Amino acid sequence: MKRIGFLLKVKQELIEEYKEHHRKVWPEMLEALSKAGWHNYSLFLHEDGLLFGYFETPVSLQDAVAQMEKTEVNARWQAMMSPYFELPPGARPDQMLVELENVFYLD
């Protein structure tokens, strides 16, 4: 299983709304993530909007994202979430994940 860490930036003025959406993630989105092989998925948010995400997958980050791109629910979720992030115009959050290098792991 590959461990993936990534960064994104949530607009500071929208942090509370962003957190509220994640208290109520759609069941079909959760199911799609599981079916696409996203395991132990967590998001950590700093007060300045810096978002650290972590998940485990049997494939690369690019392949895990590609699996989700095949689902209709992901397209709806990304469209809803895009305004919350500091992104280039027209970009979706899942297209802008900055993968971090894993430099240490203790099992």
CA dist., res. 105 & res. 92, Å (int)? 30
Do 73 and 29 meet the contact criterion of CB atoms below 8 Å apart?
yes
The whole-angstrom separation of Cα 55 and Cα 2 is: 8
Q: Burial-class residue 36 by CB neighbours within 10 Å (0-12, 13-18, 19+).
A: buried
Q: Is 21 a catalytic residue?
A: no
Measure the CA–CA gap between 13 and 49, rounded to whole angstroms.
9
Catalytic one of 21, 22, 39, 46? 22
Just list the catalytic residues: 22
